[in-house]
């Protein structure tokens, strides 16, 4: 699997590292150990950046695996320089204007920042998911496939999360509460979240004022333009176009 290849590549990079040589007789073993951890983590993040495609294939739909900031060409070119902060980002606009492309490009750009060391082993903490798929996972717990609280906790605690196509789900009191719980926890703990939707904040507010308030606290981007899919269908090998 691609992820295993990357893990092996990252391990090779990390395996070649050695604890930094002490430059001072006063350097303590603990300080040396911490310096080594920082060096190993920096090397791992570089390895992630160099092999993003492998990681993306384990999280992002094939159509968007090549999405990156350089290939993002919306009607407003300045949006290609969009950055992500802890407030999160809500991307809204009509279908086909590049919302998912931009969200995935930002996911890719920020993926390395989620790397951390767990028991000395490097891991990533990032998830890409469509809202309808999230709700399907939650509903599956009703039939005994895991616990709803575990799914909610996983999505609430991951360091970087994309929630694509908010509003495509069938609205109900349960779906509203489930989505609000995940998003609210992430906002409270300042964990970056990228959310896309065909709905405007006003339309979301009409159905769920609490959720709209949370989204309104994020950086809000409105993408304009015609549906690219209808104007120029992508070639079979072109993965840079879409919502």
pLDDT in tens, 199-218: 999 999 999 999 999 999 99
In a domain, 1, yes or no: yes
Last residue of a domain, one of 11, 29, 58: 58
Residue 86 and residue 190 in one domain: yes
CB atoms within 10 A of CB 166: 23
The overall average pLDDT reported for the chain is: 80
pLDDT band at 234; cut points 50, 70, 90: low
- Whole-number Å distance between alpha carbons of 76 and 231: 18
Residue 53 and residue 73 in one domain: no
CB-based contact 162:194 (threshold 8 Å): yes
pTM, to two decimals: 0.76
pLDDT band at 16; cut points 50, 70, 90: very low
- Residues 152-192 have pLDDT tens digits of 999 999 999 999 999 988 778 999 999 999 999 999 999 99
pLDDT at residue number 155: 96
Residue 106 and residue 148 in one domain: yes
- Residues 57-96 have pLDDT tens digits of 668 888 888 888 777 665 567 776 788 999 999 999 999 8
Element (H, E) at 12: helix 2-15
- pLDDT at 132 > cutoff 60: yes
Last residue of a domain, one of 42, 58, 74: 58
CB-based contact 201:216 (threshold 8 Å): yes
Task: Name the E strands within 1-56.
Answer: none
CATH number for the domain that contains residue 114: 3.40.50.300
Residue 37 and residue 140 in one domain: no
Residue 71 and residue 160 in one domain: yes
Higher-confidence residue of 184 and 9: namely 184
In a domain, 237, yes or no: no
Higher-confidence residue of 5 and 53: namely 53
- Ramachandran region, residue 60 (left: φ > 0; alpha: ψ -120 to 50; beta: rest): beta
Residue 74 and residue 139 in one domain: yes
**Residue 48 belongs to what domain range?**
1-58
In a domain, 111, yes or no: yes
In a domain, 243, yes or no: no
Those residues with Cβ within 8 angstroms of residue 59's Cβ, 6 or more apart along the chain or in another chain: 126, 127, 128
- Whole-number Å distance between alpha carbons of 126 and 115: 9
CB atoms within 10 A of CB 87: 13
Task: Name the E strands within 23-115.
Answer: 89-92
Phi, psi of 130 (to 5 degrees): -90, 145
In a domain, 114, yes or no: yes
In a domain, 192, yes or no: yes
Last residue of a domain, one of 22, 41, 58: 58
In a domain, 45, yes or no: yes
- Whole-number Å distance between alpha carbons of 203 and 160: 26
Residue 105 and residue 221 in one domain: yes
CB-based contact 187:217 (threshold 8 Å): yes
Question: What is the domain count for the chain?
Answer: 2
Residue 25 and residue 130 in one domain: no
Residue 20 and residue 76 in one domain: no
pLDDT band at 33; cut points 50, 70, 90: confident
Higher-confidence residue of 38 and 4: namely 38
CB atoms within 10 A of CB 177: 13
pLDDT at residue number 1: 44
- pLDDT at 236 > cutoff 60: no
- pLDDT at 116 > cutoff 90: no
* Sign, Cα dihedral of 189, 42, 9, 112: positive
Residue 11 and residue 101 in one domain: no
Q: Cα Rg for the chain, rounded, in angstroms? A: 20
Higher-confidence residue of 94 and 17: namely 94
Residue 159 and residue 78 in one domain: yes
Structure tokens at 128: 């890409």
Residue 117 and residue 3 in one domain: no
In a domain, 209, yes or no: yes
């Amino acid at each position: 699997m691609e992820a295993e290849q990357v893990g092996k590549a990252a391990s090779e990079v990390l395996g070649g590292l050695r604890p930094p040589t002490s430059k001072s007789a006063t350097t303590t073993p603990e300080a040396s150990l911490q310096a080594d951890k920082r060096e190993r983590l920096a090397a791992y993040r570089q390895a992630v950046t160099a092999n993003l495609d492998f990681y993306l294939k384990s999280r992002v739909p094939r159509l968007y695996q090549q999405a990156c900031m350089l290939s993002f060409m919306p009607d407003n070119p300045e949006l290609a320089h969009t950055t992500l902060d802890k407030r999160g980002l809500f991307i809204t606009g009509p279908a086909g204007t590049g919302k998912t492309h931009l969200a995935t490009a930002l996911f890719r750009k920020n993926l390395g920042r989620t790397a951390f060391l767990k028991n000395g082993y490097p891991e990533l903490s990032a998830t890409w998911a469509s809202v309808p798929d999230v709700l399907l996972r939650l509903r599956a717990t009703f039939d005994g496939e895991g616990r709803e609280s575990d799914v909610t906790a996983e999505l609430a605690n991951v360091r970087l999360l994309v929630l694509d196509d908010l509003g495509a789900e069938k609205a109900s009191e349960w779906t509203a509460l489930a989505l609000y719980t995940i998003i609210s926890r992430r906002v409270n703990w300042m964990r970056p979240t990228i959310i896309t939707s065909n709905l405007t904040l006003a339309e979301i507010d009409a159905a769920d004022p609490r959720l709209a308030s949370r989204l309104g606290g994020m950086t809000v981007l409105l993408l304009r333009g015609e549906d690219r899919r209808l104007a120029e269908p992508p070639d079979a090998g072109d993965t840079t176009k879409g919502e």
